[in-house]
Structure 1
Amino acid sequence: MSVIGIDIGGTNIRIGHDCNGKLKDFVKISTKENLKEGKIVECLANIIKKYIGEYCKDEEIQQIAIGIPATLSADRKEILQVPNIKGMNNIRLGEELEKVLGIKVALERDVHMLYFWDKYEQKIADDGIGIGIYIGTGVGNAIFINGKPLAGKDGAAGELGHIPMIGGKEQCGCGNLGCSECYASGWKLVQIKDKCFPETTMNELFVKHSNSHILREYVDAIACVACSEINILNPDSIIFGGGVINMKGFPKELLEERLYVHARKPYPAENLDIKYSVDKPDNGVKGAIIFAKTLI
């Protein structure tokens, strides 16, 4: 018996299955080439069937778990909005796939799948409050209470990237003005590089310029955004991850210094438990597998 984990991203779909507690047969395919607008369920069902036929034909699949970069309904049955993949809005994807595959399918936000893995790898206990802050293209956020992700009334809890910043006037991709993503995201970092350091590659940006005023301000913005959640929740643990945090030369000491500055004194500032995720392409799949196992 086995479970399958799937991580659907705007660029790639990643799939793997569990074998004696370890990820096996990890596969990555292009999202654009394999998910066609208007045929999302059919395409994804065919991808899963092909994967099972090639790698799991002698196993009984008990559960499939899929991470989606989307807003999901509170019951996690319906995809409400996917910003970067056309044709996925308002699909009850899990139920539709179950009809075709005859296997139970569960949906969850992709950032929660990342946190499921990081929580396991970092040996974080279920008790209490754990948060994950993932600075990638945008600001991903996971809030876990006693080992379970917080969904919220409409399924939209944890939108840390869309906390409004006082006085903020930059246009966010969501349509609002002054969201925190406008100041603390990967796409903001690209803007900074293009404007201030055009001759430097992204990979070398922090290596060469981490002491520059504008990049120190950028790191401070990440700390400000994080502390808006830290000061409300007083979490037991905090995980930072994502492509930006894992960039070569990213100044983690400066981040922690600014977290202390912006956190409420004496607590939670004096007792922050900060950990860092190692950004690997299979993290979301491994997290989906862990989540799938909790459903059996």
Structure 2
Amino acid sequence: MATDKLTDRQVKAATFEKYEKRTKLSDGQGMYLDVQPSGKYWRMKYRFEGKEKTLALGVYPDVPLKLARQRRSEAREQIATGIDPNEAKKQLKAAQQVKADTFKAVAEDWLRLKKGELADSTLEVARKRLETWAYPKLGHLPLSEIKPVTVLEALREIENQGKHETAHRIRQRIGEIYRFAVAEGRAETDPTSILKGLLKTVPTQHRSAITSPSELRALLKAIDAYGGHATTRAALKLAPMLFLRPGELRNAEWKEIDLKSGTWIIPGKRMKGTQKAKKAGQVPDHIVPLPSQATVVLK
């Protein structure tokens, strides 16, 4: 029986500078320490089906002598049972890669990528929809195993609950995640690309609207008679005068308002637009002329 030849002290002392050339120090049973300018590498020579091959066992000192010998023993056991250790290593790596590329793992990477590009509120909605509707059915599956029919079945369950718009939104997000994965080399195709037109159309929902002067007059009178908090009353009165988005009105700051000139300048960073465009200053400030009635309310 062959005996081990190297000691921990010898392995530690072995350097390229010491030998002044690439050196291979044998440890027996095909294993050796390959000393190179870039470091020290454990290798193992073996024959499989008549061919000589080399197996990488690790890099010293991350892989010490004892662990390298353990890996050599495992490789020799594989060879004895007709398994090529290099092929077994490739299959293990492929399996680990598949596990790392589950839909949920890639979706979480996509969410991190979009942070700072999309508004936090938009990202939060996207995450909750994925957690509620996509992860339970698709989260644990490798991207390569998710077929168009797999996605469609998940979307049909959402439709069956009457949530047609949600189904369309989820299909859109899944498509974005897959396109990200394709660009990263983690998927081959986007399975949602052939699902367009297969989901039910979102039912048109007509919302009640004031269409006559008399109805508008009644609404304005009701707002004027409202006896709630002063801030709420002011917001209700300003809304029909200024036609702003609720968030723009709700987050108003006094420094934006000039009562003397009758103007309100809303910074571009508070206007609708992507976070990326806002940071780049690509969303212009919005100038709102203040009618005299609005000035009275503000005062």
Would the TM-score normalized by the shorter structure come out above 0.5? Answer: no
Name the TM-score, length of structure 1 as normaliser: 0.24
TM-score, normalized by length of structure 2?
0.24
- Larger RCO (CA within 8 A; separation ≥ 6): 1
Structure with greater Cα Rg: 2
In proportion to residue count, which structure has more helix?
A: 2
